[in-house]
Amino acid sequence: MTETPAARHHREQQAGSLTTGTHILLPDGQRTAEIDQVELERDDYGSPALVLASLSGGGTLRVAVGATVTVVDGAHDDVTQLPLPADLPEAAPLPEAGAAPAQPAAGTGPIAVAPAVVLPPLPPAPPAATGPSEEELALIPAPAGTPESVVEAAAEAHPDAEGVLLLADRLSKGVNFKSGSCLKDLSDLAHELFVTLKDADAALSVADLLTVLPYDGNPGRWTSVEASLALASYICRQDGQDKRAEVYEKLIRTPENQETDPFKARMAAKVRQRSLNEPNLYDKEIFRSIDNSNHDAEREWRLLRLESLLFLRAHGGSETIGMTELERRISNELEAVRA
């Protein structure tokens, strides 16, 4: 006789404390299964709300965090066949060909069989972002000379721009692409050329020193590359170079295709989408600077807001801010910081 869950040792456990490898009693009260993975979903306030337990036999079990689950100590069985009660009659033999079907005896009827619990399959992993091809990368022109010469040319074109001269002076000592501070100076120089001086060509030339750098997993260095990619994408869109802009937009998504584990990829996609839907646009900081009549601080916060908007623009907007609204906000911020 197959062992039933009732014959094993049961104990109650809160769903929020379930872990991989735990054997639990399924909602039908007859079958058990082993938990393969546990995923925690949070509510809109950030508190744990729902446990998604992926079962080794396939499917996902949804349980509230505070609910009590019956844990079974012992080997699990994906589908436990329970024995029929002893007092139930044996199944009648099949009638011979041509014979009338036998009628059930008085007071007896067909044995009701409880329907099996059907668990939904795991959601598919988000599609991996594909990088640009060699032909697409060829749309980004090679720099005209060394990185130092590109910086020097930008400085010579704006001899009265104090911000450009300060950054160019630091970079003239040598451009080290492994230095996070050096990459930050290059990104700041590209933004200064475009935002303040409206020199899109020089800004794009400087930004392209960073846009071709590969993703190395270092968040500090990638932040500067990411900002330059977003700026380059916007400049090309404004100039009608849509194909080239698409290359930058593919490159900015490079970190999205690094995770190979489907479970971690789903979690990363959720976090990424939430960050796009709820971007930090520094509203409080800007309003505080306006209230204090601190125009320098207001401009710095608006520059950070502009970077966030350009980043959203390079990702095609979000579920909360569409492209039309993004274009309007970017234009407003450019006008505000250039005033």
DSSP-assigned states of every residue in 324-336: HHHHHHHHHHHHH
**Which residues does 36 contact at the CB level (< 8 Å), separation at least 6?**
20, 54, 55, 56
**Which residues does 71 contact at the CB level (< 8 Å), separation at least 6?**
10, 11, 12, 13, 22, 23, 24, 25
Q: What is the mean pLDDT of residues 299-327?
A: 95
The CATH number covering residue 19 comes to 2.30.30.30
325 or 10: which leads in pLDDT = 325
The answer on pLDDT for 108 being more than 60 is no
Question: How many C-beta neighbours within 10 Å does residue 286 have?
Answer: 20
What is the C-alpha separation between 291 and 141, in angstroms, rounded?
45
pLDDT of residue 87: 47
In this structure, the answer to whether residues 57 and 160 fall within a common structural domain is: no
pLDDT of residue 259: 75
Q: What is the mean pLDDT of residues 240-246?
A: 96
Q: Would residue 163 count as lying in a domain?
A: yes
Q: What is the mean pLDDT of the chain?
A: 82
Q: Are strands 23-25 and 32-42 parallel, antiparallel or unpaired?
A: antiparallel
Q: Would residue 31 count as lying in a domain?
A: yes
309 or 93: which leads in pLDDT = 309
The pLDDT tens digits of the residues spanning 35-83 come to: 888 887 877 676 778 888 888 777 788 888 788 888 887 544 444 434 4
Question: How many C-beta neighbours within 10 Å does residue 282 have?
Answer: 20
What is the C-alpha separation between 227 and 187, in angstroms, rounded?
7
In this structure, the answer to whether residues 150 and 254 fall within a common structural domain is: yes
What is the C-alpha separation between 267 and 259, in angstroms, rounded?
10
70 or 179: which leads in pLDDT = 179
By residue range, what is the domain housing residue 32?
Answer: 5-73
Q: Would residue 88 count as lying in a domain?
A: no
* Segment holding 156, helix H or strand E: helix 147-157
Among 310, 250, 256, 251, CA closest to 279: 310
What is the C-alpha separation between 265 and 259, in angstroms, rounded?
6
In this structure, the answer to whether residues 141 and 248 fall within a common structural domain is: yes
pLDDT of residue 308: 96
230, 258, 286 - which closes a domain: 258
Question: How many C-beta neighbours within 10 Å does residue 145 have?
Answer: 11
Structure tokens at 207: 């930004």
258, 282, 308 - which closes a domain: 258
In this structure, the answer to whether residues 66 and 149 fall within a common structural domain is: no
In this structure, the answer to whether residues 151 and 243 fall within a common structural domain is: yes
Structure tokens at 227: 């900002």
pLDDT of residue 130: 66
Structure tokens at 25: 């009693």
Among 190, 204, 206, 212, CA closest to 238: 204
Number of domains in the chain: 2
The pLDDT tens digits of the residues spanning 121-169 come to: 555 545 555 678 899 999 999 998 999 999 999 999 999 999 999 999 9
pLDDT-derived band at 110, boundaries 50, 70, 90: low
The answer on pLDDT for 296 being more than 70 is yes
Q: Would residue 320 count as lying in a domain?
A: no
217, 233, 258 - which closes a domain: 258
18 or 183: which leads in pLDDT = 183
Q: What is the mean pLDDT of residues 281-290?
A: 96
Q: What is the mean pLDDT of residues 98-108?
A: 51
Q: Would residue 200 count as lying in a domain?
A: yes
Q: Would residue 189 count as lying in a domain?
A: yes
pLDDT of residue 83: 44
Question: Which residue, chain included where needed, has tokens 């095609």?
Answer: 316
Q: Would residue 284 count as lying in a domain?
A: no
Q: Would residue 327 count as lying in a domain?
A: no
pLDDT of residue 208: 97
